[in-house]
Amino acid sequence: MQFSKYHALGNDYLVLPSSHSDRALAPDEIRKICQAHTGVGADGILWTTIQPETRHFAVRIFNPDGSEAEMSGNGVRIFARYLWDSGYINDEPVEILTLSGPSKAAVEFHGGSVSLTLSKPSFSSADIPLEGPTREVIEEEIRAGDREYRFTGVTVGNPHCVIVLPEISAEEARSSGPILERDPRFPARTNVQFVQVIDRTRIRLEIWERGAGYTLSSGTSSAAAAAAVHRLGLAGPSLTVDMPGGSLSATIESDGDVSIAGPIVKICQGTLSAEFLLH
């Protein structure tokens, strides 16, 4: 089974064409492949369907714990770069289908950057989803151990819990993130962003990603955080999002859609051995 490995600001994925098999990978196989020391090591697997004759490009996104995600901004951007590298697309925008629906990506600057337009952000508890009566989830209380937070819930195709703080740290993301991810009010679990607003054009993130843990960067986290701080009146529609792995741009478009753009780097290609897969 051949694979290609890419990273988006340190958020790394393996691209596996589904033509290798008539079934998707099992959760134990995903966990095995994503292991850093005994496998290839990755933040996730992109199980792709490529039908160039009909321009049908689809991707299923698997987390390293074996669970499946509805959407990954970085994952879809990586898949677009893979399609470009493989000669399936040129510089024109391409529609890529995910579990959360279609998104439009474009490879720019000779492969140096990939932009992506995601689903229109929703703050409705019914869409996120979040337990309780249907409402806009704006600065509600949530607790992680002895720490109380106020969070804004948002979905851009997958669920997010956005917490704005005066100061943020990797340590807090690692300690509070796993508790918040599994808060019982989020029936599908949630991604968690700790956000520091630098000014109206720049924010900083520390991220705990559902099914993956502490993450150096995240495309949907960037989009969700940008949408949340804009909705709260803390920032304008165009933002630079700084993360431990680097920076993305995020824009709330005039029609309400949110788009992100940033670099993608190809790391390597390889072949998973039969010995590895069978043991």
**Residue pLDDT, tens place only, 172-186:** 999 999 999 999 999
Closest among 62, 54, 52, 51 to 13, alpha carbons compared:
62
pLDDT band at 244 (very low <50, low <70, confident <90, very high): very high
Predicted confidence at residue 230, as pLDDT, reads: 98
Predicted confidence at residue 20, as pLDDT, reads: 64
Predicted confidence at residue 279, as pLDDT, reads: 74
DSSP H or E stretch at residue 165 = none
Cα separation, 44 vs 35, in Å, equals: 10
User: What's the average model confidence in pLDDT over 62-79?
Assistant: 97
Predicted confidence at residue 18, as pLDDT, reads: 84
pLDDT band at 23 (very low <50, low <70, confident <90, very high): confident
Predicted confidence at residue 165, as pLDDT, reads: 98
Query: For residue 10, how far is the Cα from the chain centroid?
Result: 12
Predicted confidence at residue 261, as pLDDT, reads: 98
Question: Between residues 234 and 22, which one has the greater pLDDT?
Answer: 234
- At residue 137, does pLDDT exceed 90? yes
pLDDT band at 49 (very low <50, low <70, confident <90, very high): very high
- At residue 141, does pLDDT exceed 80? yes
- At residue 21, does pLDDT exceed 80? no
pLDDT band at 278 (very low <50, low <70, confident <90, very high): confident
Cα separation, 192 vs 208, in Å, equals: 5
- Is residue 109 left, alpha or beta, with left meaning phi > 0 and alpha meaning psi from -120 to 50? left
Predicted confidence at residue 277, as pLDDT, reads: 78
The structural domains of the chain, ordered by start, are 2-118+264-278 (3.10.310.10), 140-256 (3.10.310.10)
Cα separation, 189 vs 254, in Å, equals: 30
- At residue 276, does pLDDT exceed 90? no
pLDDT band at 119 (very low <50, low <70, confident <90, very high): confident
